[in-house]
Amino acid sequence: MNPSTQNFMEQVLRSRVYDLAIETPLQEAHKLGKQLGNRILLKREDQQPIYSFKLRGACQKIISLTHEEKARGIITVSAGNHAQGVAYTAHHLGLNATVVMPEIAPAIKVQAVEDWGAKVVLYGQNVTEAEQFARLLQQQENLTFVHPFDDLQVIAGQATIGLELLKQAPKDPYTVFVPVGGGGLIAGIAAVLKTIRSNIRVIGVEPEHANAMTQSIQAGHQVKLDHVDTFVDAVAVKQAGFHPFQMAQQYVDDWITVSNHEVCMAIRDTYENTRTLMEPGGALGVAGLKKYVQQKGITGETLVTITSGANADFDRIREVAERLRAG
Ligand SMILES: *Cc1c(COP(=O)(O)O)cnc(C)c1O
């Protein structure tokens, strides 16, 4: 293990995420497994107290700040789930938090952030535009910035999912499908799994019109998209993070993109298997898993995916059902 990997693994092992986050169940999706001819396991991150895994990274990062950094107050940028992680953590530690969210952020996410006592500023059409404004506020008000994905402490927090999988999954080898936005989630999970069990495969899943990471991997450098589709709001970033990109290059085996229609179908599949309505990002991994299995003709294997969040507006659920009915 090289020194930077060792340092990262130490951070993961010493992480403080369980001060606020829970160890989520790894649940078998029997019906979907039967349909696809594989054993399918869902890592239920939608069951975290804020209904997404983002609490892990936010908690790990904020706890690791110095007293002085905490006292200045925290600022972040987020499509909504990281915002809730920061607001929840700040509330529990008694810190001030400001969150810049893009105007497309679902109301349920904005409301939750306000309910935890954070200040919300709505700005821009996507996370990348909102981030520029957040950086300005940070300088003006001398706040401490907590990035949603391009930060090694945040990545170490998300990486605790990898440790839990090593404990919970029955036996390796297996393949893990991870939904990708800025790339913090996949970077952390892949780093842990590959360092400890190199025979576990990790595959990244992105929406076809919000695939900054896939394009970056293909190009060999970080690519910035001109336009990003926001249907899967939780992963609508123009540019993946620098650390996540580097770690993904090193640890991720393969990539797949899916259409919004495939995401809608995956929301239905996930509902039928869990009786929980995922947000589009929460079902993205299932959509990628299904498509990959069909493309490659995989049978009889163990396949794992992360149901990463369930913060969908109620109206959004109607939209998904109507899109499916329209075919
Ligand atoms: C943030 C998020 C992702 C993607 O995580 P990144 O670290 O940005 O790649 C996936 N699903 C949901 C529900 C999210 O909130």
Half-sphere CA count of 108, side-chain side, radius 13 A: 15
Q: What is the CATH number of domain 54-145?
A: 3.40.50.1100
What is the rounded average pLDDT of the residues 123-146? Answer: 93
Q: 212 pLDDT band (50/70/90 cuts)?
A: very high
Residues 162 and 191: beta-carbon distance below 8 Å: yes
pLDDT above 90 for 155: yes
Please work out whether the CB of residue 311 comes within 6 Å of at least one atom of ligand 1.
no
pLDDT at 129: 86
pLDDT-derived band at 125, boundaries 50, 70, 90: confident
Query: So what's the pLDDT on residue 56?
Result: 98
What's the gap in Å between 194 CA and the centre of ligand 1? 20
Q: What is the pLDDT of residues 164-190, one digit of tens each?
A: 999 999 888 999 999 999 999 999 999
Average pLDDT, the chain: 96
Percent of the chain whose pLDDT exceeds 70: 100
Region 280-294 average pLDDT: 98
Please return the burial class of 226, using the count of CB atoms within 10 Å of its CB with bins 0-12, 13-18 and 19+.
Answer: exposed
> Does residue 185 line the site of ligand 1, with CB under 6 A?
yes
The rounded radius of gyration (Å) of the Cα atoms in the chain is 18
Residue with tokens 């821009």: 124
**Six-digit token pair at 35?**
């349909």
Q: Give residue limits of the domains in the chain.
A: 3-52+151-326, 54-145
| pLDDT for residue 79 | 83
Tell me the per-residue pLDDT of 58-107, one tens digit each, with 9 for 90 and over: 999 999 999 999 999 999 999 889 999 999 999 999 999 999 999 988 89
For residues 273-287, give the mean pLDDT: 97
Q: What is the pLDDT averaged over residues 134-141?
A: 96
Class assignment of domain 3-52+151-326? Answer: alpha beta
The reply to whether 3-52+151-326 and 54-145 are identical in fold is yes
Query: Does ligand 1 have an atom closer than 6 angstroms to the CB of 124?
Result: no
Query: How far away, in angstroms, is 233 Cα from ligand 1 center?
Result: 9
**306 with 160: CB under 8 angstroms?**
no
What is the distance in A from the centroid of ligand 1 to the CA of 66?
A: 26
The larger pLDDT score, comparing residue 120 to residue 317, is at 120
Phi-psi domain of 21 (left: phi exceeds 0; alpha: psi -120 through 50; beta: other): beta
